[in-house]
Structure 1
Amino acid sequence: MNFSGKHKRAGFNHQVICTVDGKLLAITDQLPGARHDAYCFKKHGLEKYLDKTTLADKGYVGLGLLTPVKHKPGVKMSKAVKENNRVINKLRVVVERVIAHIKTWRVLHMGFRRPLSSYQRVFSVVRGLVFLAAGGTFE
């Protein structure tokens, strides 16, 4: 189910892959918004395209990607771990900027207010336009 009774809107989870210089490579089809990022990563089979040098956020810990270390309650993080997290997060800023650029399309950042059965068609058009604007192709 994609509808959140709490927020009164539909939510979807898309995975975005881009290079560290900001070139958009892929936007996956939607999965229900209540699904965890790690589940969506596995469900789309992205592990065959990415490896241990791929930067990811803390939602992907344990998947063999380069992620920041999570802070454990009651345990002080060393300066080296903090610095490592800082370096990873500085590199990931580009990814977050690409995601923010995609969300400039109102249909992707606001609640989807049309019949949910039409979301896939609308998203496919927007994804094509995003790639066209980024200088990519529809392939």
Structure 2
Amino acid sequence: MCKINFSGKHKRAGFNHQVICTLDGRLLAITDPLPGSRHDAHAFRAHGLDQLLDSSTLADKGYVGLGLTTPTKRRPGLGLLREQKTNNRVLNRLRSVVERVIAQVKTWRILHTGFRRPLGLYGRVFSSGAGGWCFWLRGTPYE
């Protein structure tokens, strides 16, 4: 019997989530899971984020060609120009905050350990956990 989204190599199921946050580290949204091993560009389009975000959005090299601000990729056998390296350094410094938010999201128990329940329940369990965490970010109504 073949398990859907299951990696025999890693012995875990794979999902792709897209994380959107501000440059000051405030989490804005986490998309629902996209099953399987999918490229970030595919997940970006599948969730309709291309309709919501524009060229002012910073992204990593997995989003090249989608109209977002991304670092310049080095072509095989050629180096980057000094201006390109400087531009990449500036973008990467800004994105370091985003990477820390992603690292914090990955510490959630549902993402940190292997999901041991039936995979059909993953979306519901993740949504309830993410909703609680986003509520915690906003603060309690009693403050």
**TM-score interval w.r.t. the shorter chain?**
over 0.9
Q: Which amino acid aligns with 1:82?
A: K
Work out the CA distance in 2 between the residues paired with 1:136 and 1:48.
29
Report the equivalent of 1:84: 87
Alpha carbons of structure 1 residues 68 and 14: separation in structure 2 relative to 1, 3 Å: same
Q: Secondary structure at 1:134's aligned position in 2?
A: helix
Contact 1:41 1:47 in 2 (8 A): yes
Give every structure 1 segment of 4 or more consecutive aligned residues whose post-TM-superposition deviation is greater than 3 Å. none
* Alignment size in residue pairs: 137
Decide which structure has the larger Cα Rg and report it.
2
Work out the CA distance in 1 between the residues paired with 2:113 and 2:82.
39
Report the equivalent of 2:111: 108
> Which deviations, in whole Å up to 9, do the C-alpha atoms of 1:6-32 show, x marking residues without a partner?
111101100011111111111100112
2:71 matches 1:68 = yes
**% identical equivalent positions:** 66
TM-score (norm 2): 0.90
Report the equivalent of 2:122: 119
Q: Unpaired runs of 5+ in structure 2?
A: none
Say what the alpha-carbon RMSD is for the aligned residues. Answer: 1.4
> Which deviations, in whole Å up to 9, do the C-alpha atoms of 1:44-76 show, x marking residues without a partner?
100111100100000000000000011112101
2:28 to 12, 25, 28: 25
| Deviation of the 1:136 alpha carbon | 6.5
1:97 to 97, 100, 116: 100
